[in-house]
Structure 1
Amino acid sequence: MPRDNQRPDQTGTTEQILTNARLVLPDEVIVGHLVIRDGLIAEIGTGGSDAPGALDLDGDMLIPGLIELHTDNLERHMTPRPGVHWPHAAAIAAHDAELAGCGIATVFDAVRVGSIVSGQSKGYRKYAREVTDEIIALRAAGLLKISHRLHVRAETCSETLLEELAEFGPDDRIGIVSLMDHTPGQRQFRDESKFKAYLQGKHGYTDQEFADYSAYLKGLYDRIGAQHEAGAVAAAARFGARLASHDDTTTAQVETSAGHGITMAEFPTTVEAARACHANNIAVIMGAPNIVRGGSHSGNVSAAELAQADLLDILSSDYVPASLLLAATQLADLWGDLPRAIATVTANPARASGLTDRGRLLPGLRADLTRYRPLQGVPTHRGTWVAGTRVA
């Protein structure tokens, strides 16, 4: 049966019409209407539609459904407090519903692969394969609201990376493999005091426990870090996944990334690294919370600074799903260009991840849509459609 304002046309196909909307197209904003037919955008036109059953959007903004390439939100639902492990199916469902309610139509769920199992760590237990199986099962049962893919975060400074990667294959719908190196003293944690504050705040490490753990990680990376990096690059090729780097700091690190075939750089920590990324045709991803907060919580480069230097291509909500749309609208104010800003959370992540069927309001593409209304500088979410079906 058709749902909401869907109606069968004379050929039996299902049609919806959304009218009186401000449509954010790739290069302009128009007041008009959009027709959805069988889950795809069928038509876009200026002016209103008086067709029976058309849904009046009351002048709200209508943009492509948001695309999230890297979010730690699922882990937050699985471990809502240190040492508290929530049932995975319930956590996945809550995560899914939260993203839908923030206008996100496609997510690459970030799962960490590579654990510390020798007792040296308080927080690096293995979980990725188990959670992936549960995501696949929920998706197959039609119980998820939005489109889920996987982003494998390959922790090169770990004990079990290669063994865990071997548990995955091309059928797992892994779209992105990112090379993560959280060895103290470099990249995100080149200031070790930030790493210490993070571990003590999240896991309650004492000063001596931190010193011992930090020394262990440095020794571990020296022994097997290069082997793990090469193994992760090979695994991405086996999965058919795009490669991303993480927390590049120097030009040399970016040149290494380019040599691996990396096409996305998550959260470069310096202007130098971001410039090197663009010189090597690597898309720069920055955190939406960095835009909203006005800076990095780790003391790294400001995303707004990169945006002003034309060095920001994609936003990721990282650890706050609701930040994605909010940061995009703030970028629109900074750039004076709403279509360009919306592209950082729609068209650009679609292109970078190889999703050619979504991310723009164009006939023939998936009807993944987000409706919002600006209210006192804040984009208030008003609806999400995934392949033509309203899910929030």
Structure 2
Amino acid sequence: MRDFAISESPAVQAQLDRLGALSLPQGRLHLDTARALLARLGNPERRLPPVLHVAGTNGKGSTCAFLRAICEAQGLTVHAATKPHLVRYNERIRIAGKLIEDSYLAALLEEVLDAGKDLAASFFEVTTVATFLAFSRLPADLCVIETGLGGRLDATNVIPMPAVCGISSLGIDHESFLLSPEDGVPAEPLARIAFEKASIAKPGVPLVTQAYPVIVANEVLATAARIGAPVMMRGRDWWADVGTENIAYRDALGELSLPCPALIGAHQADNAALAVAMLRHQSALAISPEAMAKGIRSARWPARLQVLGPGPLTDRLPGRTVIVDGGHNADAAQAVARALGNRAPIDLVFGLTRARKIADVLFPIAPLVRKAHTVPLPG
């Protein structure tokens, strides 16, 4: 799986080439390979600072961005693992608030790849193990960790006891992996997705979620109950009413009036509210309402309805606003369409890999589009 990882550092590129030569997981996903590789490296996943673990179909990366910004506004030092990278592989591993440096990244990947030469680990398994190894060696107050694919069998799900788990919005994506036939799992697609994502839950650890349709909510609750995790679900255990300028948040601890994010779209206020709910339902970290407000306003997450500033592209389009978004499924497209509805008509530059259902993604946006330009993408 090449994943288009490139670096200007020859030392890093040498290790990225090794990563790119790794194959996709063969057959059904599992945790055995990640666990075996971690064991060879001394089980660093058992020595992490308090972990905030986030799964979901859409919004999990933005939720992680809000968690990191809020905790940094509190004055805490944060390790963060997110994916995929936008420009540089280093974006996946943020150590004490900064992207991992090339020299350390090259040595780290070499160590993990050498340790797992005979294990046939995947790109993401090696990346996850390298991330946990780095986080275990350098001090921080907490880790924010985003799942990669699903939850139950995602390589990040080796974390033994996070401080809190969260689930953002849920929908259909990565069907070839997450909906593959298996005995003893829900047959209905959305229920199956809910089962996979909710399986990051751990006994006694709060699982904080958004609100969902009944079939999804019931599966989240049932999965958490089997595991023994208390669920804090939006609309049942916590509430967030999103206005034009403020988020009116409340739960059993009280009420908060919080600002709307600088990030574009009402869905980002939902993601910010989930981050707040996660922090208010865990006990490892003390976070003030002031830090929550400051972090919500300061959070940035590139390529999520990002308005491009002055540069080579915008200079060629004087008087035009250029907005970039990395959404690649139907639910993400609906969120983009809602956010851009008052900007219609728009010109769309659009590219997806062959694995994506192009019509499903284009359908919500099509009514806004004056002109569409397609661009080829590898894969």
TM-score, length of structure 2 as denominator length = 0.33
Q: Which has the larger radius of gyration?
A: 1
Structure of higher RCO (CA pairs closer than 8 Å, 6+ residues apart) = 1
Judging by fraction of residues, say which structure has more strand: 1
TM-score, length of structure 1 as denominator length = 0.32
Judging by fraction of residues, say which structure has more helix: 2
